Structure 1
Amino acid sequence: MHILITGGTGFIGRRVVRALIRDGHKVSVYSRQSPSDVRRLLTSSVRPVQSFTAINPSTGFDAIINLAGEPIMAKRWSHKRKRLLLDSRVGVTSELVDLIERLETRPQVLISCSAIGYYGHHDISEPQNESSPAGSDFAASLCERWEQSAKRAENFGVRVCIVRTGLVLHQNNGALHEMLPPFRLGLGGPIGSGRQMMSWIHSDDMTRIILFLLNNESLRGAFNATAPNPVSNREFATALGRALRRPALIPVPVIALKLLLGESATMVTNGQAAIPERLQEAGFTWEQPDIDAALKQLLVKPSYF
């Protein structure tokens, strides 16, 4: 297949691109980086694309994978930052669907990322599956608009899969990478009460979920890309301490995070228990369904890709 991927130079995107090329697919990567930088980060076999408008309508893509989006926790949520988060998700996705409309031969499938932030924040006793309603905070509104932009591709006969990602774990990228220094020093611990739920996914399983949706033509709609066993923040901290053979008892005060991160602190002080019900029903199997084994695999026998 010829596959167009946005966000291909990002943390998840790099892994997906390598998997697609390994499986023999032709891959075009949309990125604002220079073509030489894209090939340096990925491989010389990818075709860099810097503008959707530069794509000839006669170009045939069998599938499109949309992973574009500025990191949501990188900076405080100022008005300007919120606008950038919206533009990098809703704006890029809308442009992508405009491209689909222009193409003479439209792709069979659009796989477009969202996040479990779609559900807003919930108590530990409220598991969320794909039929649960959207929340009402900024992150939920962002995800809802993001998904609506992608669903517009259904108007052009395209199968659309929405991937609501949880906390993607890899030792060299993302949230786990940021957590490791204090935990390795024995200074890690739960955030606040530690009761807030964390819906996580091993990075290898995240890649496998995207390929699973790509290759199963009967699947469409929203899917929670999480492990089937969410844990509380306290359970996660304890498991990370065990994996590193360090104590994990020092709590992080919520007030300190709010002073540091502002409104975006709610992404770590609150949570949701997102259950991957539709992937389970579709027969997907997780290589890393449990947090202790997942962290041990990442930290004791790490993968560097």
Structure 2
Amino acid sequence: MKYKKIVLAGGNGYLGRVLADYYKDKAAEIVILSRHEKQVEQNIRTVTWDGKTRGKWTAELVNADLLVNLCGKNVNCRYTEKNKAEILASRLQPTELLGEVIRDLFEPPKLWINVTSATIYRHADDRPQDEETGEIGTGFSVDVCTRWEAAFNKYETPKTRKVALRMAIVLGRNDSAFPRLLNLVKLGMGGMQGNGRQYVSWVHEHDVARSTEWLLDHPEMNGVFNCAAPVPLKNADLMQVIRNAYGMPFGLPAPQWMLEAGAVLIGTETELILKSRWVLPARLLKSGFKFEYETAAEAVMAILNK
């Protein structure tokens, strides 16, 4: 085994399952910190925590190779005051708690990756945003990201390297954004959304996992990294890629007024679809990391053929 222990805080969600599956043959044990107990599966076990208070779970962090923090309420909801408060608390509380515990441990994890969001950058349709020259945006979702990263950096952790991994939209077979887009295509409604000119920064789930291992294996790397494929594309082009891969010759477009009405009905926000996210992984590329899926066409075909 290459690693002794990988800890996934809030690891029972979609990305946690992706990472657990990726590392199960690479690590002696994988520990998922979760509010709910779960049966042991091979070398994957669950340890309960509430994300708010110290407990027996803190011993799991001792001398771990990697801690990945995946905590956070799903933002696919209406931004009511109640939901806003829950979105913030579900990110800030566990992140600050982990920082405090790591600071106090004699043998803390070697690397702590906090999975945040590439939506921290502004709506960009004029030029791409990278870690060096990108501009922070405005609005509730950006405020969540900036406060989240501030919580991540609140405590000094001299023995633990830290990486804020700003995640693009993850494409995968199960429970990612992709099945929802594919369902639209299957129903003949897979045309452009809004004016279709907004950029979509995306990353294949396998490259998400590979990037965490790359960061783990390169102890000189720390700070902010964008986790996004190097070839983003416009919404209209992404929908065409999915239609082509599925073999659907047409797709009805969804104008903005329709999206706004539909968002109310299904309890979400149009920002998730209409914001132009044009994000590049400059630091990963500069470090020598090579994406297995550089284009959306490659990623979509791989998912459909899986």
> If the length of structure 2 is used for normalisation, what is the TM-score?
0.90
2:44 to 28, 41, 46: 46
Residue 300 of structure 2 corresponds to 295
Cα deviation digits, residues 208-240 of structure 1 (max 9, x gap)? 111111221111011111100000001101111
Whole-angstrom distance in 2 between the partners of 1:46 and 1:144: 32
Whether 1:279 and 2:280 are equivalent positions in the alignment is no
Whole-angstrom distance in 2 between the partners of 1:167 and 1:218: 27
Whole-angstrom distance in 2 between the partners of 1:139 and 1:129: 18
Whether 1:5 and 2:8 are equivalent positions in the alignment is yes
The number of aligned residues is 294
What is the Cα deviation at residue 147 of structure 1? Answer: 1.2
Percent identical residues = 27
Relative to structure 1, the CA distance from residue 170 to residue 58 in structure 2 (aligned partners, 3 Å threshold; closer, same or farther) is closer
Structure 1 letter corresponding to 2:14 = F
Cα deviation digits, residues 142-169 of structure 1 (max 9, x gap)? 1111112112344443211111111100
1:21 to 7, 19, 24: 24
Q: Which runs of structure 2 are paired with 1:224-243 in the superposition (5 Å)?
A: 224-243=226-245
Cα deviation digits, residues 115-157 of structure 1 (max 9, x gap)? 11110312x2220001223211111111111112112344443
Whole-angstrom distance in 2 between the partners of 1:57 and 1:291: 40
| Kept after mapping to 2: 8 A contact 1:201/1:225 | yes
> If the length of structure 1 is used for normalisation, what is the TM-score?
0.91
Relative to structure 1, the CA distance from residue 248 to residue 273 in structure 2 (aligned partners, 3 Å threshold; closer, same or farther) is farther
| Kept after mapping to 2: 8 A contact 1:3/1:61 | no
Whole-angstrom distance in 1 between the partners of 2:58 and 2:15: 28
Relative to structure 1, the CA distance from residue 56 to residue 85 in structure 2 (aligned partners, 3 Å threshold; closer, same or farther) is closer
Consecutive unaligned residues in structure 2, runs of 5 or more: none
Structure 2 letter corresponding to 1:12 = L
- Counterpart secondary structure, 2:68: strand
What is the Cα deviation at residue 257 of structure 1? Answer: 2.1
Relative to structure 1, the CA distance from residue 133 to residue 187 in structure 2 (aligned partners, 3 Å threshold; closer, same or farther) is closer
- Counterpart secondary structure, 2:219: coil
User: Which protein has the bigger helix share?
Assistant: 1
Q: Which runs of structure 2 are paired with 1:92-111 in the superposition (5 Å)?
A: 92-111=94-113
Whole-angstrom distance in 2 between the partners of 1:91 and 1:231: 35
Say what the alpha-carbon RMSD is for the aligned residues.
1.8
Relative to structure 1, the CA distance from residue 56 to residue 258 in structure 2 (aligned partners, 3 Å threshold; closer, same or farther) is closer
Residue 69 of structure 2 corresponds to 66
Whole-angstrom distance in 1 between the partners of 2:80 and 2:250: 32
Residue 180 of structure 1 corresponds to 182
Consecutive unaligned residues in structure 1, runs of 5 or more: none
Relative to structure 1, the CA distance from residue 110 to residue 242 in structure 2 (aligned partners, 3 Å threshold; closer, same or farther) is same
Residue 30 of structure 1 corresponds to 33
Structure 2 letter corresponding to 1:46 = I
- Counterpart secondary structure, 1:112: strand
| Kept after mapping to 2: 8 A contact 1:58/1:103 | no
- Counterpart secondary structure, 1:264: coil
What is the Cα deviation at residue 57 of structure 1? Answer: 5.8
Whole-angstrom distance in 1 between the partners of 2:220 and 2:176: 32
- Counterpart secondary structure, 1:53: coil
What is the Cα deviation at residue 242 of structure 1? Answer: 0.3
| Kept after mapping to 1: 8 A contact 2:191/2:251 | yes
Q: Which runs of structure 2 are paired with 1:81-120 in the superposition (5 Å)?
A: 81-120=83-122
Cα deviation digits, residues 4-60 of structure 1 (max 9, x gap)? 211211111111112222103322211001233xx4xxx242232212622376651
Structure 1 letter corresponding to 2:168 = G
Whole-angstrom distance in 2 between the partners of 1:142 and 1:58: 29
Whole-angstrom distance in 2 between the partners of 1:50 and 1:115: 25
Whole-angstrom distance in 2 between the partners of 1:293 and 1:17: 24
Residue 135 of structure 1 corresponds to 137
Residue 255 of structure 2 corresponds to 253
Relative to structure 1, the CA distance from residue 47 to residue 191 in structure 2 (aligned partners, 3 Å threshold; closer, same or farther) is same
Whole-angstrom distance in 2 between the partners of 1:154 and 1:101: 6
- Counterpart secondary structure, 2:100: helix
1:200 to 199, 202, 207: 202
What is the Cα deviation at residue 96 of structure 1? Answer: 1.2
What is the Cα deviation at residue 256 of structure 1? Answer: 2.3
